[in-house]
Structure 1
């Protein structure tokens, strides 16, 4: 029986765990995949205080991992299937185990949206990917088509260019991202095509062809960055006392590390206060 179970080891979940550990509460941090959440995709985090030149997502994750280890926070790699409310406590079911807790924090972040292009599903995780961190290890010089003209798409393109690949961006409408990203893409000579609607994709030998209304693009891989949506385990009613949501899972488009960690600290302090009050 834990005071709190945290589902998700991204910035929000880790920050909550650190604060609860400091307060002396018993906790379990559950993560189905890799630690770090969307930081795994981040080329350069430039608005995280203390790093004047910015810090890569990978390097920031390593610092988070170090803090988890130093503070002896219990991190378990299991996928949560369902959260139940039984009596006054919660039961968190994973594929392997069942855990009980008086509080649960949902910090499961977001998942990428699909583009709804014919042929997309059959090529997913083969030639089509949604997270740059999930791309296979590939030799330099690969053509990679990025579908999506927002911050994520441009960040992926800039990162891929720095790794020696040949990214191209297409977007159904106009570009909608930070001006500093468009400036960097322009300086790196990354091709950007606007008002392009992809209709179908199929394998063409070792490459993939993306058919659009006016143009066709032949590429080695496709990265889709057309938005994200909350990722939830199966939950009871979401307004139960003791069930909290923090970070990107509830913040819609405000996917920023500082915002997620601020959420986490506030909720962790609320939980600490409630346990102290009723104990």
Structure 2
């Protein structure tokens, strides 16, 4: 019997684990992959306080993980498949076992959204990628198309210029959601050029990516752009595959919480990118994780009387 099971080992989950274990709760984090979530695959995080020169995402998340271990957080590397949350004792079904817990914090995060065009599935791992840090080095002296107009697309596009001879950022509008400082750096980078008001209609190739077919959204004209790789940054979707109808979510699957990060089910909380929130950053995930853990402590002390 655990006091709290935390689902997901990203910034929110690791922080929740640190606070919960430090508060004396028997704590376990269940994670399918490596600790750190999407933050661990980010080359450089510049907006997390305390690191004026920025910090590598893996390095930062590895520190979170070590700190959680130091406070006694247990880690189980299995896949959560379903939840039974109606009773006071919650049951978390993984692919190997069933865990019992008095409280649950869901910090499963989100995953890259697919572009959904022909060729994307065919060439995944053969030129199509969603992680510049993971795959950028495979494209030395190559031409890369980066799809998207947000912070991640522009930052990762700039990172890819370390390897590529040219990075083409394709965006469906002329306006960008990236910060001004990020945009200024990209515009000053001689290896980056922009294709604006275009959408990707197809990823082309034989054994590997050889280019993309784009369509001008204003004129309707289509043309081909030769390229060796396509990196896709068009948003995220929640990792909600284990969540059933018990937990209230929005139409995209993000979990509704109140200001104390409580879901509609007593004893169940959500934190970080998995919840319906206007901002998804490491800093906000850390704040969420801390608050959720503190609220679990209060819940267990006042309701369960541990």
Q: Alignment partner of 2:38: what SS?
A: helix
* Alignment match, 1:188: 189
Aligned length: 279
Give the ranges of 4+ consecutive aligned residues of structure 1 lying more than 4 Å apart after TM superposition.
none
Q: Does 1:237 align with 2:241?
A: no
Match of 1:179 in 2: 180
Q: CA RMSD in A?
A: 1.9
For 1:61 and 1:163, the matched residues in 2 are separated by 25
Superposed displacement of residue 223, structure 1: 0.9
- Tell me the distance in 2 between the aligned counterparts of 1:96 and 1:85: 19
Greater shift, 145-154 or 60-69, is seen at 60-69
Alpha-carbon distance, 1:268 to partner: 0.7
Question: What per-residue deviation string (whole Å, max 9, x for no partner) do you get for residues 97-147 of structure 1?
Answer: 111111111101111211121222222233212233443752622322111
Per the alignment, residue 48 of structure 2 pairs with 48
Following superposition, the deviation at residue 91 of structure 1 comes to: 0.9
**Contact 2:123 2:208 (8 Å CA) reproduced:** no
Deviation at residue 175 of structure 1 after TM alignment: 3.7
Aligned to 2:113: 113
Check the 8 A contact 1:171/1:193 in 2, yes or no.
yes
Which residue, 218, 223, 226 being the options, matches 1:215? 223
In structure 2, distance between residues paired with 1:121 and 1:27:
38
Which of 170, 189, 202 pairs up with 1:200?
202
After TM superposition, the structure 1 = structure 2 runs for residues 1-279 of structure 1, keeping only pairs within 5 Å, are: 1-85=1-85, 87-135=87-135, 138=138, 140-163=140-163, 166-176=166-176, 177-189=178-190, 190-204=192-206, 206-213=208-215, 214-232=222-240, 233-238=242-247, 239-277=264-302, 278-279=305-306
Please report how far the alpha carbon of residue 80 of structure 1 lies from its aligned counterpart in structure 2 after TM superposition: 0.7
CA–CA separation in structure 1 for the residues paired with 2:73 and 2:34:
16
Output the CA distance in 2 between the equivalents of 1:253 and 1:112: 17
Q: Which moved more, 1:252-261 or 1:129-138?
A: 129-138
Secondary structure in structure 1 of the residue aligned to 2:294: helix
Shift of 1:265: 1.1
Deviation for aligned residue 1:23: 0.6
Equivalents in 2 of 1:152, 1:217: separation in Å?
22
Answer whether contact 1:148 1:225 (CA < 8 A) is retained.
yes
For residue 69 of structure 1, report the CA deviation from its aligned partner. 3.0
Task: Sort the Cα spacing of 1:64 and 1:166 in 2 relative to 1 into closer, same or farther, 3 A.
Answer: farther
Structure 2 distance, partners of 1:126, 1:136, is 12
Alpha carbons of structure 1 residues 124 and 205: separation in structure 2 relative to 1, 3 Å: closer
Q: Secondary structure at the match of 1:157?
A: helix
Cα contact 2:140–2:165 (8 A) shared by 1:
yes
Q: In structure 2, do the counterparts of structure 1 residues 128 and 137 end up closer, same or farther at CA, with 3 Å as the change threshold?
A: same
8 Å Cα contact 1:10-1:36 kept in structure 2? yes
Find the residue that maps to 1:105 and give its secondary structure.
strand
Residues 267 and 166 of structure 1, relative CA distance in 2, 3 Å threshold: same
Provide the TM-score with structure 1 as the length reference.
0.92
